[in-house]
């Protein structure tokens, strides 16, 4: 059983206990255990078999027994009991902003509310306003919250978040008295999808800035508005929180609001262990505050080297930062080129020359063209004849570029349902490299799909695997596939794996990219660009790579043109 699935059930267990009004620390223990299991990742059978489960911090005797029962029998008796005693619709009420376990418990016990529909009926009839601890405002807030739950999706893409937050940051920066503005939260950590937007600013007097913020034209509704903090709903439904602190407090607040929550809890515990107290405003010791002018100084005060925001998930970054300086993670400027770009030869919007010029304009020294292969009829895939004509055009362009720039001849070759490739070997041999991707028969059984991709990974003419899980963020789950097995096979065969940087994909994800790195595999950051502007998506791939802890040496396209040329030849067995 996968760690992800175990974690989900442990979370459910914690939530149901909360709704029953159990000891909050007992409830939290289940959520902590769920996070711990997520951190372990992979398949839990191995961990249990090796007896290492009880070494995982946050999993004690009781929860360990439940996890073992779950993995061996497929169920947790205690969870089944809770589910039986708890109306299934109750958990959904937690999604209504302003409703937590305590209020839901009261609503359930006094008004017999067990679903969102019950809640709406009760609020509209006015029954909620009369309850002890509730009032007319709470009732209205519940109605607004129900509208929100029913209309809005949960999360947004990073690319959407950046577009939404930009005007807010600009407006805050322009406000009188503002000295610094930073985006914090999951967006600064570059999490794949974003729940809400967190913006922090420094000003001697934050209140007037917040007054301006809630009056911005982008704001559709104000959820809370105080002298140091305001929360609004932007047009489109996304929540945006703005916090103001004084310049002295800024480094502490920047760290605190960047999170993650799990990372912050460890930081606070480290402070306590040193007889210090950390909050979002200061680090306090017995002899008064410990001044820090930057996040780096805060980490230093707690015995740590600087931890980049992308690693702050309590997933091993503390051990790293205790040992010594964390080696620089890969940056956009490290990329010398990229592979997997489309042109108007298949379903791209720009010509070969336009794509090449756009790449040069972005400081790249080479660009790999990987249009669709012949089976991809929907995408105007290239027949063998058209492949050869594209090669001729690329040769002519390369001649014109001279040493200044180089186009590589690649192909995004479909992995057919049986794991074979879309061209015969004698055609594949003519490319500089081959990206192998799945574009059909997504519904295959897990074993079949895994064997299919593993077979492609082992094909001697396949250079790299494209978007290996097939997921589309917020739209389509990954197809059923054992990615760990694919990663292991690719590493063994010397086949690289793409980090597809398209913000809709981000595939591989960071956790699997880290595994690939640990298995000795090489990764490639590819934009899957279908237009010149798509080349800018490389930055999203950099985000994934940094979250995976990748350095330039782990990524093929951080290599220079001459090195890459040599490596591609080696892959093909030409040397």
Total residues contacting DNA by CB under 7 A comes to 60
- Nearest approach in angstroms of CB 474 to DNA is 18
- Nearest approach in angstroms of CB 23 to DNA is 5
Among 281, 306, 401, 442, binds DNA (CB under 7 A): 281
Q: What angle do CA 376, 458, 389 make, to 5 degrees?
A: 40
Q: Segment 5-24, which members bind DNA (CB under 7 A)?
A: 23
- Residue 520 in tokens: 């000795």
User: Per-residue x/- mask for DNA, residues 56 to 95, rule CB under 7 A?
Assistant: -xxxxxxxx-----------------------------x-
Among 268, 305, 360, 572, binds DNA (CB under 7 A): 268
The dihedral sign for the CA sequence 246, 247, 252, 254: positive
C-alpha pair distances (Å), 348 with each of 369, 467, 502: 11, 17, 14
The dihedral sign for the CA sequence 542, 544, 550, 556: negative
Nearer to DNA, 199 or 548 (CB): 199
Among 45, 52, 163, 269, binds DNA (CB under 7 A): 269
- Nearest approach in angstroms of CB 129 to DNA is 7
308 is a site residue for DNA (CB under 7 A):
no
Q: Which stretch binds DNA (CB under 7 A): 96-104, 164-172, 388-396, 422-430?
A: 96-104
Q: Segment 187-226, which members bind DNA (CB under 7 A)?
A: 196, 198, 224-226
For the chain, state the CA radius of gyration. 26
Strands (E), 391-511: 406-414, 433-437, 464-465, 496-500
Among 159, 239, 246, 375, binds DNA (CB under 7 A): 239
Q: Segment 312-331, which members bind DNA (CB under 7 A)?
A: none
159 is a site residue for DNA (CB under 7 A):
no
390 is a site residue for DNA (CB under 7 A):
no
- Nearest approach in angstroms of CB 368 to DNA is 40
Taking the C-alpha atoms of residue 475 and residue 473, their distance in angstroms, rounded to an integer, is 5
- Nearest approach in angstroms of CB 394 to DNA is 50
The CA-based diameter of the chain, rounded to the nearest angstrom, is 81
Q: Are 493 and 522 in contact (CB under 8 A)?
A: no
Taking the C-alpha atoms of residue 91 and residue 9, their distance in angstroms, rounded to an integer, is 13
By C-alpha distance, which of 510, 513, 452 is closest to 479?
A: 452
- Nearest approach in angstroms of CB 322 to DNA is 14
277 is a site residue for DNA (CB under 7 A):
yes
Taking the C-alpha atoms of residue 554 and residue 496, their distance in angstroms, rounded to an integer, is 10
Please tell me whether residue 191 adopts helix, strand or coil conformation.
coil
C-alpha pair distances (Å), 533 with each of 350, 352, 359, 400: 10, 14, 10, 23
Q: How far is CA 281 from the centre of its chain?
A: 28
DSSP 366: E
Q: Which stretch binds DNA (CB under 7 A): 84-92, 274-282, 409-417, 508-516?
A: 274-282
Among 39, 41, 101, 337, binds DNA (CB under 7 A): 101
Nearer to DNA, 243 or 547 (CB): 243
The dihedral sign for the CA sequence 520, 461, 556, 187: negative
Among 5, 26, 424, 569, binds DNA (CB under 7 A): 26
Nearer to DNA, 133 or 377 (CB): 133
136 is a site residue for DNA (CB under 7 A):
yes
Among 51, 73, 74, 132, binds DNA (CB under 7 A): 132
Q: What angle do CA 210, 211, 215 make, to 5 degrees?
A: 110
* DSSP element (H, E) containing 182: strand 178-183
Q: Which stretch binds DNA (CB under 7 A): 109-117, 125-133, 438-446, 499-507?
A: 125-133
Taking the C-alpha atoms of residue 178 and residue 203, their distance in angstroms, rounded to an integer, is 5
Among 138, 463, 495, 532, binds DNA (CB under 7 A): 138
185 is a site residue for DNA (CB under 7 A):
yes
Question: Looking up tokens 């702050």, which residue turns up?
Answer: 312
Among 133, 286, 324, 325, binds DNA (CB under 7 A): 133
- Nearest approach in angstroms of CB 158 to DNA is 17
Peptide bond into 154 cis (omega under 30): no
Nearer to DNA, 23 or 294 (CB): 23
Q: What angle do CA 180, 184, 188 make, to 5 degrees?
A: 115
Taking the C-alpha atoms of residue 143 and residue 122, their distance in angstroms, rounded to an integer, is 10
Q: Where do the H-state alpha helices sit in 190-249?
A: 207-214
- Nearest approach in angstroms of CB 217 to DNA is 20
Nearer to DNA, 204 or 272 (CB): 272
Q: Which stretch binds DNA (CB under 7 A): 116-124, 128-136, 146-154, 461-469?
A: 128-136
261 is a site residue for DNA (CB under 7 A):
yes
Q: Which residues bind DNA (CB under 7 A)?
A: 23, 25-26, 28-30, 32-33, 57-64, 94, 96-104, 129, 132-139, 141, 185, 196, 198, 224-230, 239, 241, 257, 261, 264-265, 268-269, 272-273, 277, 279-281
């Amino acid at each position: 059983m996968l760690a992800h699935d175990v974690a989900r059930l442990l979370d459910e267990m914690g939530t149901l206990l909360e709704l029953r009004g159990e000891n909050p620390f007992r409830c939290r223990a289940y959520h902590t255990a769920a996070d711990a299991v997520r951190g372990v990742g992979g398949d839990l059978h191995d961990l249990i078999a090796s007896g290492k489960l009880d070494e995982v911090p946050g999993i004690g005797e009781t929860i360990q027994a439940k996890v073992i029962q779950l993995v061996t029998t497929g169920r947790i008796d205690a969870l089944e009991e809770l589910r039986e005693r708890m109306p299934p619709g109750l958990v959904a009420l937690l999604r209504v902003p302003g409703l937590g376990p305590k209020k839901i418990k009261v609503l359930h016990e006094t008004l017999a509310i067990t679903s969102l529909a019950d809640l709406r009926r009760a609020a509209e009839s006015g029954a909620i306003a009369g309850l002890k601890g509730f009032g007319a405002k709470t009732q209205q807030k519940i109605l607004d919250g129900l509208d929100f739950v029913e209309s809005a999706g949960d999360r947004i893409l990073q690319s959407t978040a950046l577009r939404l937050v930009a005007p807010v940051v600009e407006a805050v920066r322009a406000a009188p008295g503002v000295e610094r503005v930073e985006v914090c939260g999951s967006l600064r950590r570059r999490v794949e999808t974003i729940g809400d937007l967190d913006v922090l600013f420094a000003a001697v007097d934050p209140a007037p800035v917040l007054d301006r913020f809630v009056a911005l034209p982008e704001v559709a509704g104000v959820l809370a508005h105080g002298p140091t903090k305001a929360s609004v709903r932007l047009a489109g439904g996304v929540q945006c929180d703005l916090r103001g602190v004084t310049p002295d407090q800024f480094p502490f607040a920047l760290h605190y609001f960047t999170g993650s929550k799990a990372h912050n809890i460890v930081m606070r515990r480290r402070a306590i262990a040193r007889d210090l107290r950390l909050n979002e405003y200061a680090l306090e010791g017995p002899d008064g505050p410990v001044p820090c002018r930057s996040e780096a100084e805060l980490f230093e005060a707690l015995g740590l080297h600087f931890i980049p925001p992308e690693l702050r998930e309590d997933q091993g970054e503390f051990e790293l930062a205790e040992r010594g300086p964390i080696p620089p993670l890969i940056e956009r400027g490290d990329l010398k080129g990229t592979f997997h770009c489309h042109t108007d030869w298949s379903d791209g919007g720009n010509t070969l020359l336009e794509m090449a010029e756009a790449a040069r304009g972005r400081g790249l020294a080479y660009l790999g063209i990987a249009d669709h292969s012949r089976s991809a009829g929907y995408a105007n895939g290239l027949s063998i004849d058209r492949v050869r004509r594209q090669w001729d055009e690329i040769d002519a362009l390369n001649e014109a570029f001279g040493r200044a720039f180089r186009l590589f001849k690649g192909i995004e070759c479909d992995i057919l349902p049986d794991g074979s490739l879309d061209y015969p070997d004698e055609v594949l041999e003519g490319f500089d490299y081959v990206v192998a991707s799945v574009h059909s028969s997504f519904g295959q059984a897990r074993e079949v799909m895994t064997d299919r991709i593993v077979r492609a990974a082992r094909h001697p003419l396949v250079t790299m695997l494209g978007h290996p899980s097939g997921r589309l963020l917020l739209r389509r789950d990954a197809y059923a596939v054992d990615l760990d097995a694919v990663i292991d096979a690719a590493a063994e065969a010397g086949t690289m794996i793409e980090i597809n940087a398209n913000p809709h994909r981000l595939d591989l994800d960071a956790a699997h990219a880290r595994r690939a790195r640990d298995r000795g595999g090489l990764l490639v950051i590819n934009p899957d660009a279908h237009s010149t502007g798509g080349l800018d998506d490389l930055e999203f791939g950099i985000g994934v790579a940094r979250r995976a802890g990748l350095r330039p040496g782990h990524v093929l396209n951080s290599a220079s043109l001459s090195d890459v040329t040599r490596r591609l030849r080696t892959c093909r067995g030409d040397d």
